[in-house]
Amino acid sequence: MKPGLLAVDEAKSADITEQFRAHVAHADFPCVGAKSAQARNMLDVVIAHDMRSGWDDLRIHDRLLEWADRYRNDPEGLRSMAVIFQQPDEIDEPTFERLLWQRLQSFAEKDNWLGQSYDTSVSADPTDPHFSLSFGGEAYFVVGLNPSASRPARRFAYPTMVFNLHDQFETLREDGRYERMRDAILERDRDLAGDINPMLARHGESSEARQYSGRAVDEGWECPFRDPRLEEK
């Protein structure tokens, strides 16, 4: 029996998945990349039990490795993988941020234990402007959603981590499509919230780690994450 199987109620899992897909499809949802991924059937949804527990970590990490492998075999089109936790049902922004990094730390340690190499196109140092996570040899960045997010674009009924492959956005940048997509997302976010998210920055300008949880952090913020392969890079 796979880890996490007993933790997920199948009926509730299907309902949460449907809720999330409807959330992405809603006219107010600003991320056109996620909308494109869903329209092309490339938005994968994984339902996990409790963000406070490592019970599903092996199963989630396995899906990340599979997702990276599928991308290498067929790199066309935008794709995302949303990991949605059934619990906790009440969570504030600082708690969500802390749990998000706990889960990411666990995934990174499993990647290292399995001997997976770090994507050489990015940095393993979360203070580096070129930082990205790496699972299965592919760089990822994460967009966190939670019920108590201060930014409307980052709100969803359940704690959620959306994993995006870094390379697909580098491809968009090379094709000249990235800036148009970014501008569209920023404009839609401004229409929704009344202003542009001050935490957003292009890769290479400042560490994307500051953006993952969705919480506004100050200049003194320190990322509570250290990939065990950092010294190897």
Contact 5, 143 (CB under 8 A): no
Q: How far is CA 107 from CA 87, 111, 144, 168, in A?
A: 19, 6, 16, 21
Nearest by Cα to 108 from 57, 63, 160? 57
pLDDT computed for residue 59 by the predictor: 96
CA–chain centroid gap for 136, Å, is 15
For residue 232, pLDDT over 90 is answered with: no
Q: Is pLDDT larger for residue 4 or for residue 228?
A: 228
Mean pLDDT for the chain? 84
Greatest alpha-carbon pair distance for the chain in Å reads: 48
The model's confidence at residue 188, banded by pLDDT at 50, 70 and 90, is low
pTM for this model (two decimals): 0.87
Walk across the sheet containing 43-50 and list its strands: 43-50, 80-87, 160-165, 138-145, 133-135
The model's confidence at residue 1, banded by pLDDT at 50, 70 and 90, is very low
Q: Please name the residue that has the structure tokens 């200049």.
A: 219
The model's confidence at residue 18, banded by pLDDT at 50, 70 and 90, is very high
Q: Please name the residue that has the structure tokens 């704690």.
A: 159
pLDDT in tens, 93-105: 999 999 999 999 9
